[in-house]
Structure 1
Amino acid sequence: MPKIVDHEERRRALAEALWRVIAESGPQAVSIRSVAAEAGLSTGALRHYFQTREELLTYAIDLSEERVTERLEEHARSLDPEMSLVDRVMGFVEQMLPLDQARRAEYRAWQATGDPDYLDPKIEHRWHQQRRLYRRLVAALGGIEPPEDPGPAHPDPWLESWSEFLHTFIDGLSLQLMTNPEQVDPQMALARLRSFLAHIASVRPPSGEGDRVHTTP
């Protein structure tokens, strides 16, 4: 009787193998041959699921995005109403940081978007999705009702500026966690994040003064 293969499970196992290759040698080491060897498969078996290196990278990034979304949704379901606003927002933002081994591997996969030999077909969409998340979180910190469809930009200049600051802060903090772990460890990163979020919450201009943007983080 032929063996029944769970194809989605096999694809995920291949993505995990891809992340291990990236974690050890970086995105430039990704190839059909290297990922097949890491997964213990022939290149022919791998090509049954992914024809090219680009398909592998796109699938792995898509999967990492799914996992971030799952963590965000889990945090939303488990929110404690007794938590402070900053703590509630922090629980969402920290899902974006490479704080543990799994998230560090995901971050390395995302670094493939900077590979000149790989053009992520969803790179602009991914960027806007992250910015929308930061807009909603900054809106919560500022006591602003976010629009149902955030769109490309928010009409409140205070919210738009601080969403940009938060986006840049998280990207920079993530890079420091990956490249300078002795200087910035997870505990230090979380402390800095908490301080930054508390500052955002403290500088919201009074109602009706949204055009007076506080541009100094």
Structure 2
Amino acid sequence: MPRLVDHEQRRAEIGAAAIRVILREGLAGVTVRGVAAEAGWSTGSLRHYFANQHELQSYVARATSDALRARLLPRVMRPRTVSSVVEGIISLIEELLPLDDERREEYALWQAVIEWERDHPPKDGSQTWNDQRALHRQCIAQLRGHEPDRDPDAALRPHPDPQVELWAAVLHTFVDGLAAQLVNTPDRLSGDDARRLLRALLEAVPGFIDPAAPRA
């Protein structure tokens, strides 16, 4: 009797092998031959799932985005014991910053997804970018005294407070810049520097409310 093939398991193996290739060689290393060798398959076996490199890279970009979301969400959602609203938001946003080996690896994978999306813009926009903007939107909304959205889909939509949208964009851009500097010029920006700058920006948000802050 022929052995049944678990196609989802096979595709998961391909995605895992491709991620290892990306971390060594970047997205350009994700070729049918390269991923097949990494997975221990023949090129012909891999072509059973992907006819060409474009199909493979498209799948890998989606699989990498899903892997990043699966890594990040549990860290973002974990309970936190913090002294203030600002410190809570800093501890959350730090999950996006390449402050250790795991997060530097995630940053490299995210850069590979961005590279793919730049050349092949998704119909509905970048899911990774949308997820990050939703997180920043929630942070700014909390600073301005709004109740957080419990519905994940609602957090993806523009907030009715225009100041939330403006400062979410500022925060998103700022965090991207911090991440790039932490990777590209680590001798000029330390993790402590990044936290200090992030705190300064959050405290500049108009309408900032922190019930845990000391009163004069």
CA contact (8 A) 2:33 2:43 kept: yes
Q: Return 46-55 or 27-36, whichever deviates more.
A: 46-55
Q: Deviations along 1:13-67, whole A, 9 cap, x unmatched?
A: 3223222322222222321111111222111211233333333333333333334
CA distance in 2 between counterparts of 1:80 and 1:72 reads 15
Matched-pair contact (CA < 8 Å) for 1:131–1:163: yes
Aligned partners of 1:125, 1:135: CA distance in 2, in Å? Answer: 16
Which residue of structure 2 lines up, in the alignment, with residue 195 of structure 1?
196
2:158 to 149, 153, 156: 153
Aligned-pair CA distance for 1:139: 1.5
Aligned with 1:80: secondary structure? coil
> Percent of aligned positions with the same letter in both sequences?
39
Instruction: Tell me the alpha carbon deviations over residues 122-162 of structure 1, each in whole angstroms, 9 at most, x when there is no partner.
Output: 57142233212210112123322355524653342332222
What letter matches 1:167 in structure 2? H
Q: What is the number of residues matched between the two proteins? A: 203
TM-score by length of 1: 0.73
Measure the CA separation in 1 of the matches of 2:10 and 2:100. Answer: 24
**Greater Cα shift, 167-176 or 85-94:** 85-94
Is 1:14 the counterpart of 2:14? The answer is yes
SS where residue 170 of structure 1 aligns? Answer: helix
1:18 aligned partner, one-letter code: A
Normalization by structure 2: what TM-score?
0.73
1:110 aligns with 2:105: no
Alignment RMSD (CA, Å): 3.2
1 CA distance for matches of 2:117 and 2:73?
A: 33
Question: Corresponding residue for 1:98?
Answer: 98
- Point out where structure 2 has 5 or more consecutive residues left out of the alignment: 209-216
Displacement, 1:4?
5.3
Give the deviation of 1:80 after TM superposition: 3.1
Query: What's 1:131 paired with?
Result: 133
Listed as ranges, the matches of 1:1-217 within 5 Å are 5-75=5-75, 77-112=77-112, 113-114=114-115, 118-121=119-122, 124-126=125-127, 127-146=129-148, 149-150=154-155, 152-184=157-189, 188-189=190-191, 191-206=192-207
Q: Give unmatched runs, 5+ long, in structure 1.
A: 208-217
Give distance in 1, aligned partners of 2:118 and 2:103. Answer: 24
